């Protein structure tokens, strides 16, 4: 990999956003825990220190040796990173002096500062700090202030070291991308040439070098990550790649047949593994969501292993691991809790004694989609919403039956078709798969959508008869990485039409509700 910026994570919940903003500038970057600093070679063009939930004044506050970084590489401290630079080099940081949370107005003090080049004299920034830098270290000077915080941004004279008390990575800092661009493209001198095409070229070469003439097996899910991983591997090693698409009996209407056909049209070497009867038989009578997940996970491993053994001499297992998986699986001991274990592994490497190849492990989801489009993958695959690994099993609250699956599939099909067919170009909504372009349909504007079948019944009236049937809940959220999500604000006519069609056409449903919960406190899925 060529030039890059290293982001050292002190446990902030928005550290990933720093990386995403740099990637949007076509600048490659990598995120590491503050206590696992990588070797800083000639490819490193700069270093960023992230925010943190800690106070620099705490006895157990995260510490880092900056002797080989500050004054050697361009350096930017953000929030905690700024406070640490001030505190570590002789300044004062005090608590409860001038707390700021939320929007603030930044006034530029030094117009000639390279970090603030092109930034208006007054602009909105996003603050989130309880401690305040009350005195700068010797050799540092203020370059921007807010009404309540004098040292909102500062720099060290004679070196490329800068610090900002606010968060330039969040959307609410209106000039945040410009500030980060000034640092990465200006101060660090990055070329900004890390594009999907350049990624494909270097990754294909790396795959060929890594696996040679060995055979590789990949589990396809129909989702974006595994599809793009398959296309990259196929470009690199051709039919030395064998893909396995498992039908667990819990997919959406016609999904197994339609997706399998799409993969074959991509010239992928695909095996369709229909194990729907086995999955449904073992799930019969099971209501607990965690038990359902474990049964599905175990059966997937067993089914995949069974079909993979028909591929002779395979030595590699390919996975659609993406960068948020890597970051979340690492965690920072004692500061940022590990959000989840590595969910793509699923026990397969240990069971099958295979080596792992993960061509997408340094990409965010929106970057995966851009790479997919650059590879020529059809947009109905690249632009697909995320879909849970346990499939419809966790959208049926309680026990799973064939009848419940029928009802849910029919309702979901009406809902998703409605999203795809609704022209929203006049609403000027950003596309969920690429926020830099406008969405053409409601499906494009939404990160994830689905129908949940509820385990209750309600009274209804159809014609002259009373009914006693199930309600379904519609779910639709906007997000960037599923860590947080907000409910989508539908046009009322869409909700009215979809509700009417589901109730009229899906036998077993007499009521439709819309879930307007955000994540947190709710989750995207119900189970």
d(CA 181, CA 189): 10
d(CA 411, CA 99): 49
- Residue position matching structure tokens 């989130």: 128
Taking the mean position of all CA atoms in its chain, how far away is CA 366?
8
Residue 162, sorted as left (phi over 0), alpha (psi -120 to 50) or beta, turns out to be beta
Measure the CA angle with vertex 501, ends 497 and 507; round to 5°: 155
The three-state secondary structure class of 62 is: coil
Question: Which residue among 29, 100, 129, 169 is the active-site one?
Answer: 169
Cα–Cα distances in Å, from 43 out to 2, 6, 209, 459, 522?
Answer: 6, 10, 21, 66, 42
Ranges of H-type helices in 25-133: 80-88
The three-state secondary structure class of 384 is: coil
The three-state secondary structure class of 231 is: helix
| Whether 428 is catalytic | no
Q: Which residues neighbour 41 within 8 Å (Cβ) at sequence distance 6 or greater?
A: none
The three-state secondary structure class of 48 is: strand
d(CA 262, CA 257): 9
Give me the torsion for CA of 448, 450, 452, 453, rounded to 10°.
Answer: -170
Question: Which residue among 54, 100, 167, 527 is the active-site one?
Answer: 167
Determine contact, residues 522/483, Cβ cutoff 8 Å. no
Taking the mean position of all CA atoms in its chain, how far away is CA 296?
24
| Whether 169 is catalytic | yes
Question: Which residue among 3, 29, 54, 79 is the active-site one?
Answer: 79
Determine contact, residues 359/229, Cβ cutoff 8 Å. yes
| Whether 79 is catalytic | yes
What's the token pair of residue 185?
A: 């493209």
Phi, psi of 227 (to 5 degrees): -65, -45
The DSSP output letter for 197 is: H
Greatest Cα-to-Cα distance within the chain, rounded to the nearest angstrom: 84
Residues marked active site are found at 79, 167, 169
């Amino acid at each position: 990999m060529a030039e890059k910026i290293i982001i050292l994570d002190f446990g902030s919940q928005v550290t990933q956003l720093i990386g995403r903003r740099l990637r949007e500038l076509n600048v490659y970057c990598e995120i590491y825990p503050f206590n696992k600093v990588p070797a800083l070679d000639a490819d490193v063009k700069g270093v960023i220190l992230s925010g943190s939930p800690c106070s620099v004044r705490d006895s157990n506050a995260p510490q880092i040796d900056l002797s080989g970084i500050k004054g050697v590489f361009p350096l930017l401290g953000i929030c905690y990173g700024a406070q640490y630079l001030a505190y570590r080099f002789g300044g004062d940081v005090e608590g409860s002096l001038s707390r700021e949370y939320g929007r603030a107005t930044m006034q530029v003090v030094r117009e000639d500062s390279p970090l603030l080049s092109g930034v208006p004299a007054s602009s909105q920034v996003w603050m989130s700090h309880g401690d305040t830098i009350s005195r700068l270290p010797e050799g540092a000077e203020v370059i921007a202030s807010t009404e309540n915080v004098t040292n909102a941004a500062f720099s060290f004279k004679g070196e490329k070291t800068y610090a900002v008390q606010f968060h330039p990575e969040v959307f609410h800092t209106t000039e945040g991308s410009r500030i980060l661009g000034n640092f990465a493209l200006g101060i660090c001198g990055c070329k900004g040439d890390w594009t999907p095409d350049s990624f494909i070229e270097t990754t294909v070469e790396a795959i060929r070098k890594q696996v040679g003439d060995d055979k590789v097996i990949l589990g396809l899910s129909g989702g974006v990550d595994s599809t793009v991983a398959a296309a990259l591997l196929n470009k690199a090693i051709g039919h030395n790649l064998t893909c396995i698409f498992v039908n667990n009996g819990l997919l959406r209407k016609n999904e197994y047949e339609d997706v399998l056909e799409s993969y074959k049209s991509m010239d992928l070497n695909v095996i369709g593994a229909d194990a729907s009867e086995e999955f449904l038989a073992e799930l019969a009578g099971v209501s607990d969501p965690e038990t359902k997940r474990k049964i599905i996970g175990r059966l997937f491993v067993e089914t995949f292993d069974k079909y993979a053994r028909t591929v002779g001499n395979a030595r590699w297992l390919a996975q659609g691991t993406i960068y948020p998986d890597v970051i979340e699986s690492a965690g920072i001991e004692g500061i940022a809790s590990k959000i989840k274990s590595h969910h793509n592994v699923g026990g397969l490497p240990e069971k099958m004694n295979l080596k792992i190849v993960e061509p997408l492990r340094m990409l965010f989801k929106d970057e995966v989609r851009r790479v997919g489009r650059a590879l020529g993958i059809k947009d109905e695959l690249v632009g697909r919403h995320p879909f849970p690994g346990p499939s419809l099993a966790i959208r049926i609250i309680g026990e799973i039956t064939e009848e419940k699956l029928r009802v849910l599939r029919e309702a979901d099909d009406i809902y998703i078709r409605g999203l795809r067919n609704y022209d929203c170009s006049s609403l000027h909504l950003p596309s969920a798969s690429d926020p830099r372009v406008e969405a053409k349909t409601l499906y494009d504007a939404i990160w994830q959508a689905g129908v949940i079948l509820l385990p209750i019944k309600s009274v209804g009236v159809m014609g002259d008869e009373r009914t006693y049937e199930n309600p379904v809940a519609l779910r639709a959220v906007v997000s960037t990485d599923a860590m947080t999500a907000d409910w989508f604000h539908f046009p009322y006519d869409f909700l009215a039409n979809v509700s009417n069609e589901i109730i009229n056409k899906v036998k077993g449903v007499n009521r439709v509700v819309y879930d307007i919960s955000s994540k947190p406190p709710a989750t995207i899925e119900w189970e």
